[in-house]
């Protein structure tokens, strides 16, 4: 890994509280960030999320509550931050686009682009979607001038505005896409983005007249206009880093990984690269594009009213349960349908039965037979332990490398599947070795001690591997094993030592009884 890495989520619209789609994006980005922090140079990682607070949608939402736009933004942004903190999103910067530092940075970039001749003024008329806060061409709309994202009619607008030259950069952006495998992933989104450059690009309207919308960042070269909310929000990825000099940004941008939803692929694959080129900055490293979360087959969105409150689920089941479910259930890049019934099924089968039960059994036997004391060196291979010991130890030893490769490829669901395969191997090892049966004869206790240290050591590796996905659960298991962070990260066989004491078990995931079961 490079010595520098910068991760961002989309800067979330603050026209309403967060829903599960917002949480999913930040959870995925957080799992990736936690994973990269464990690599050399990971201590230099920065991770930006935040709220996008300007624009017509936010102003209109504030008006519905009879609030000043800033007061409304303050309220909603605080809800987002509380939600992400509760979900243990390990961001380093929570940016608000109403922050003075951000506003000054946007004006600096606007002024530079204008001075370089890439912003110009002209009359314009077109079809505008308030929900997307952008103009559409006829080809982009559904029949009847319906917005494809919000399934609502667009409106006709005619006004004078400032525009950013996009067509000027079409060939350069396309060339970068074609020559840079992995620039957008999964690959199907790179292919989709490439098709956006097949025809000339319409230049981007980057202003709104104050006569129509005064809630935004004022243009530095014309005080009768405010900045288009998308032009504003992009710069939040960089605006509040400790050093925003050109030299610093020239290092940060090539190490930047954006996590976004597929609905904003065009803005990030077309608009954002052009904005960077227009101020003479390099392009980001990669776009990591996820699919939609749906409920009952319909896309989850505030405008449709079918949102799921992540905080309600986190309060009811625990934040780690929500984190586990969205990362295990859905393949990154694909759409996924959410149901609370499915969450409970996963909870009982995977968390209560598998992870919780294994932790309880291993620690309970260690407490019962040896007062919690480790009796041997882990990683012992003895045939009398049963046929599962070699396979089990091999699986645990290989786990860290498997996890690293899968998370690098954004295959979070397969990484969790790999952890659960080790859990399954551990349970089969218990059945094959039968320590609870052996312990009935005191002469067999040395063998029981060897079996249990292998299981405790494997549980340590499993808990350490879970940190990116379920940080609170990882901490709880490592605390029960009574190990520090250095020991937690050790390879299998080099962690727990003879004489070390583990704690008695506590319930991690009590089963949830289904209604009307």
Q: How far apart are alpha carbons 229 and 478 in whole angstroms?
A: 45
Query: 47 and 63, same structural domain?
Result: yes
Nearest in space to 267 (alpha carbons), one of 304, 300, 314, 229: 229
Q: Are 491 and 473 in contact (CB under 8 A)?
A: no
User: What is the pLDDT at residue 106?
Assistant: 98
Residue-wise pLDDT for 191-213, tens only, equals 999 999 999 999 999 999 999 89
Name the least confident of 83-97, 264-278, 423-437: 423-437
Last residue of a domain, one of 284, 315, 337: 337
Average pLDDT, the chain: 92
Say if CB 206 and CB 243 are below 8 A apart.
no
Burial tier of 431 (Cβ tally within 10 Å: 0-12, 13-18, 19+): exposed
Q: Are residues 351 and 332 in the same domain?
A: no
Question: Domains in the chain: how many in total?
Answer: 2
**213 and 322 co-located in one domain:** yes
CA 226 – CA 217 distance, rounded (Å) = 5
The three state secondary structure string of 31-64 is HHHHHHHCCCCHHHCEEEEEEECCCHHHHHHHHH
Residues 306, 369, single domain; the answer is no
SS3 419: helix
Q: Write phi, then psi, for 209 (nearest 5 degrees).
A: -65, 135
- Look at residues 115, 125, 63 and name the one whose alpha carbon lies nearest to residue 219: 115
Q: How far, in Å, CA of 464 to CA of 471, rounded?
A: 9
* SS3 assignment, position 339: coil
CB neighbourhood size of 30 (10 A): 26
Name the percent of the chain lying above pLDDT 70. 95
Report CA-CA distances (Å) from 21 to 106, 287, 310, 352. 27, 17, 9, 26
**Rounded distance, CA 379 to CA 395, Å?**
12
pLDDT at 148: 81
Helix (H, G, I), strand (E, B) or coil at 328: helix
Percentage of residues of the chain with pLDDT beyond 90: 78
Measured CA to CA, the distance from residue 361 to residue 295 in angstroms comes to 37
The DSSP bridge pattern shows strands 293-295 and 46-52 to be unpaired
Q: What is the pLDDT of residue 12?
A: 95
Contact 51, 77 (CB under 8 A): yes
What pLDDT is stored for residue 423 in this prediction? Answer: 97
More confident residue, 445 or 314: 445
**Tens digit of pLDDT for each residue in 32-90?**
999 999 988 788 899 999 999 999 899 999 999 999 999 999 999 999 999 999 999 99
Q: pLDDT digit string (tens) for 139-194? A: 788 888 888 877 788 888 888 999 999 999 999 999 999 999 999 999 999 999 99
Q: Is residue 511 part of a domain?
A: no
Asked if residue 498 is part of any domain, the answer here is: no
CA count, 13 A, side-chain hemisphere, 508: 30
Spatial contact of 494 and 517, defined as CB atoms under 8 Å apart: no
The CATH number covering residue 441 comes to 1.10.730.10
Geometric angle at alpha carbon 327, from 8 and 346, rounded to 5°: 155
Instruction: Report the pLDDT averaged over residues 454-478.
Output: 97
- Answer yes or no: do 147 and 236 share one domain: yes
d(CA 491, CA 218): 55
Q: Is 513 among the domain residues?
A: no
pLDDT of residue 132: 72
CB 313 within 8 A of CB 322: yes
Residue 435 near residue 452, CB atoms below 8 Å = yes
- What span, in angstroms and rounded, lies between the C-alpha atoms of 159 and 44? 46
Residues 319, 361: one domain?
A: no
Q: Are residues 327 and 384 in the same domain?
A: no
pLDDT bin (cut points 50, 70, 90) of residue 517 is very low
Do residues 252 and 108 both lie within one domain? yes
Which tops the pLDDT comparison, 358 or 136?
A: 358
User: Which residues partner with 209 through β-bridges?
Assistant: 225
Alpha-helical regions (H) of 196-271:
229-234, 246-252, 265-266
**Per-residue confidence (pLDDT) for residue 310, from 0 to 100:** 78
The C-alpha atoms of residue 135 and residue 128 are separated, in whole angstroms, by: 4
* Boundary (domain end) residue, out of 289, 316, 337: 337
pLDDT at 424: 95
Same domain, yes or no, for 150 and 181?
yes
What is the arithmetic mean of pLDDT over 512-517? 68
At 379-394, the pLDDT tens digits run 765 555 556 678 899 9
* Whether 238 and 370 share a structural domain: no
> Running DSSP on this structure, what letter comes out for residue 333?
T
DSSP calls for 345-365: HHIIIIIIIIIIHHHHHHHHH
Domain CATH code at residue 220: 3.40.50.620
Going by C-alpha positions, the residue among 129, 208, 116 that lies closest to residue 162 is 208
The pLDDT score that the predictor gives to residue 152 is: 82
For residue 44, tell me if it sits in a domain: yes
Give the 3-state secondary structure of residue 261: strand
* pLDDT number for residue 1: 44
Q: Is the pLDDT of residue 304 over 60?
A: no
- Report residue 22: phi and psi, to 5°: -65, -45
Burial group, residue 109, by CB count within 10 angstroms (0-12, 13-18, 19+):
buried
pLDDT attached to residue 297: 67
If you average pLDDT over residues 423-429, what whole number do you get?
94
Is the pLDDT at 254 greater than 80, yes or no? Answer: yes
The rounded distance, in Å, linking the Cα atoms of 343 and 313 is 10
Domain span holding position 384:
340-488
* 317 and 465 together in one domain: no
486 Cβ partners below 8 Å, 6+ apart?
none
Residues 387 and 275 in one domain: no
Across the range 473-497, mean pLDDT stands at 96
Query: Residue 509 falls within a domain, yes or no?
Result: no
Q: Is residue 40 part of a domain?
A: yes
Q: CA 52 → CA 64, 151, 210, 405, 425, distances in Å?
A: 18, 22, 19, 33, 46
Closest CA to 189 of 302, 332, 325, 75: 332
- Asked if residue 500 belongs to a domain, the reply is no
Residue 505 belongs to some domain of the structure: no
Residue finishing a domain among 314, 337, 360: 337
Averaged over 235-239, what is the pLDDT?
A: 98
């Amino acid at each position: 890994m490079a010595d520098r890495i910068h991760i961002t989520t989309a800067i979330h619209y603050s026209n309403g509280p967060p829903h599960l789609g917002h949480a999913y994006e930040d959870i995925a980005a957080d799992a990736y960030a936690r994973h990269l922090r464990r690599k050399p140079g990971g201590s230099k990682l920065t991770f930006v999320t935040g709220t996008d607070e300007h624009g017509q949608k936010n102003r209109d939402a504030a008006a519905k509550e009879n609030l000043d736009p800033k007061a409304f933004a303050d309220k909603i942004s605080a809800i987002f931050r509380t939600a992400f903190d509760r979900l243990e999103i390990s961001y380093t910067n929570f940016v608000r686009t109403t922050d003075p530092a951000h506003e000054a940075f946007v004006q600096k970039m606007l002024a530079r682009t204008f001075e370089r001749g890439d912003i110009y003024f002209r009359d314009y008329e077109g079809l505008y979607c308030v929900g997307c806060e952008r103009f559409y061409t006829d080809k982009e709309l559904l029949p009847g001038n319906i917005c494809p994202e919000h399934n609502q009619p667009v409106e006709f607008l005619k006004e004078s505005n400032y525009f950013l030259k996009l067509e000027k950069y079409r060939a350069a952006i396309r060339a970068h896409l074609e020559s840079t495998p992995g620039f957008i992933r999964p690959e199907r989104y790179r292919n989709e983005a490439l098709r956006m450059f097949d025809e000339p690009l319409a230049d981007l309207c980057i202003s709104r007249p104050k006569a129509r919308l005064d809630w935004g960042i004022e243009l530095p070269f014309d005080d009768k206009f405010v900045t288009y909310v998308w032009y504003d929000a992009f710069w939040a990825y960089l605006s509040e880093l400790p050093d925003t000099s050109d030299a610093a940004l020239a290092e940060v941008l090539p190490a930047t990984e954006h996590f976004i939803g597929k609905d904003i692929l065009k803005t990030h694959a077309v608009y954002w690269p052009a904005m960077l080129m227009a101020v003479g900055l390099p392009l980001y490293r990669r776009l990591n594009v996820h699919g939609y979360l749906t409920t009952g087959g319909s896309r989850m969105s505030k405008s449709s009213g079918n949102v799921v409150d992540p905080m309600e689920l986190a309060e009811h089941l625990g934040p780690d349960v929500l984190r586990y479910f969205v990362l295990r259930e859905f393949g990154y890049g694909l759409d996924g349908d959410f149901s609370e019934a499915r969450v409970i099924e996963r909870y009982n089968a995977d968390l209560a039965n598998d992870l919780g039960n294994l932790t309880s059994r291993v620690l309970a036997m260690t407490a019962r037979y040896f007062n919690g004391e480790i009796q041997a060196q882990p990683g012992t291979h003895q045939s009398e332990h049963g046929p599962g010991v070699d396979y089990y130890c091999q699986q645990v030893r290989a786990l860290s490398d498997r996890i690293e490769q899968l998370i690098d490829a954004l295959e979070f669901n397969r990484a969790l599947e790999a952890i659960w395969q080790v859990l399954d191997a551990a349970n089969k090892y218990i059945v094959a070795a039968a320590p609870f049966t052996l312990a009935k004869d005191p002469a067999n206790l040395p063998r029981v001690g060897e079996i249990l240290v292998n299981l405790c050591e494997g549980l340590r590796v499993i808990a350490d591997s879970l940190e990116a996905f379920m940080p609170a659960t990882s901490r709880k298991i490592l605390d029960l094993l009574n190990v520090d962070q250095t020991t937690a990260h050790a390879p299998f066989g080099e962690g727990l030592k003879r004489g070390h004491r583990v704690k008695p078990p506590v319930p991690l995931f009590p089963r949830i009884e289904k209604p009307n079961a």
